[in-house]
Amino acid sequence: MQRDPLESLPEWEEIAATAMAVQNMWLCCTEMGIGCYWSSPGLIKHMDEFFEMAPGEKCLGFFYMGYYEGDIPEMTRGPIEDKVVWG
């Protein structure tokens, strides 16, 4: 994540935007038959020791991708009405 140097947005919005970008990559990978997951192992707090990070840049995790053998079981999604309450 690259923090806005002017901090014109709250940091949580930039973190949320990064998470949404990761979700979009996850959906694309799923559609293409690529296995993936996002993880934030403890070593991410030391990333600046291994990579040159720009000021305001922060590692929020690793997005692992790879091909897999076998089939993914079919899933049936429930209706949105079971998950969302409109008020």
Looking at residue 69, its pLDDT comes to: 87
Separation of alpha carbons 79 and 18, rounded Å: 27
Mean pLDDT of the chain: 90
Looking at residue 84, its pLDDT comes to: 92
Looking at residue 38, its pLDDT comes to: 94
Per-residue pLDDT tens digits for 11-49: 999 999 999 999 999 999 988 989 999 998 888 888 888
pLDDT at residue 53 is higher than 90: no
Burial classification of residue 12, based on how many CB atoms lie within 10 Å of its CB (0-12 exposed, 13-18 middle, 19 or more buried): exposed
Residue 42: both structure tokens together: 């403890």
